[in-house]
Amino acid sequence: MRDFTDLKRALGKAAKEAAARAEQERAERARQDALNRSKEVDAALFRRSVGEVHGVPKAGQVVPQGPKPQPIPTRRQADEREVLKASLSDEFDVESLLETDESLSWRRPELGLDVVRKLRRGVWALQGELDMHGMRTDEARERLVQFLRDAHLKGWRCVRVVHGKGHGSPGKQPVLKDKAKRWLVQSERVLAFVQARADEGGNGALVVLLQTSTG
């Protein structure tokens, strides 16, 4: 009877591990798809900025003038919005990828559990913070993308993202808390994140480990 019970437990454990691996692989594919979409948008923006290529006109030939390009600031804002929409999705399913053994956490499949433990213990000093309190979804997404980009350029390893607890949201639901998790999981610059300790914001913030240019 004991052998049967042990076998049943082993099979159950194996099934859970297989399901977890499948979810991690699906997340990796989704992240790669988002990266590919971002590259496609970058290429399209480059082609748009360069414009059509014309040969050198012959002497006396009149070259028809096309419409004037948009002012650079307006085009840049529109371009950034396109990149954001292509790179981070609000609909990405992240709940099945989160580990909730002690508190909410996520890590890339190739990283060990020790990374999560170190984040919780504060092994890496916080080098920056983004506070998204009171922001609308689109603004928060844009600010987060810009913050992660700037942090990467500065070589920061560990940052805090404050999404709030939703006390001021309709229905008291923490809208940005859920979306922040979705966005971070999709970013190629994010290696892992954990729910902040009580003295760092608790369930109103995340401590994020970033990929640096040196690894």
Q: What is the pLDDT of residue 205?
A: 95
Q: Is residue 156 assigned to a domain?
A: yes
Q: What is the pLDDT of residue 51?
A: 53
- How many Å apart are CA 157 and CA 141, to the nearest integer? 20
Q: Is residue 119 assigned to a domain?
A: yes
Q: Is residue 26 assigned to a domain?
A: no
Q: How many domains in the chain?
A: 1
- How many Å apart are CA 116 and CA 35, to the nearest integer? 25
Domain, as residue range, for 178: 97-210
Q: Is residue 176 assigned to a domain?
A: yes
Query: Which runs of E-coded beta strand occur in 4-117?
Result: 105-107
The domain that holds 186 is classified in CATH as 3.30.1370.110
Amino acid at site 93: D
**The two three-digit tokens of residue 69, written as one number:** 């390009």
Q: What is the pLDDT of residue 86?
A: 47
- How many Å apart are CA 105 and CA 5, to the nearest integer? 31
Q: What is the pLDDT of residue 118?
A: 95
- How many Å apart are CA 196 and CA 158, to the nearest integer? 12
Q: What is the pLDDT of residue 209?
A: 97
Q: 50-54: long-range contacts at Cβ-Cβ below 8 A with a sequence spacing of 24 or more?
A: none
Q: Is residue 4 assigned to a domain?
A: no
Q: Is residue 53 assigned to a domain?
A: no
**The two three-digit tokens of residue 29, written as one number:** 């594919």
Q: What is the pLDDT of residue 115?
A: 94
Q: Is residue 32 assigned to a domain?
A: no
Grouped pLDDT means (10 residues each) for the chain, 215 residues: 70 75 71 64 54 54 56 53 51 51 78 93 96 93 95 96 77 79 93 93 94 75
pTM score: 0.59
| Of residues 105, 172, 165, 159, the one with CA closest to residue 133 | 165
Q: Is residue 103 assigned to a domain?
A: yes
Q: What is the pLDDT of residue 58?
A: 58
Q: What is the pLDDT of residue 130?
A: 98
Q: What is the pLDDT of residue 16?
A: 74
**The two three-digit tokens of residue 59, written as one number:** 């002497």
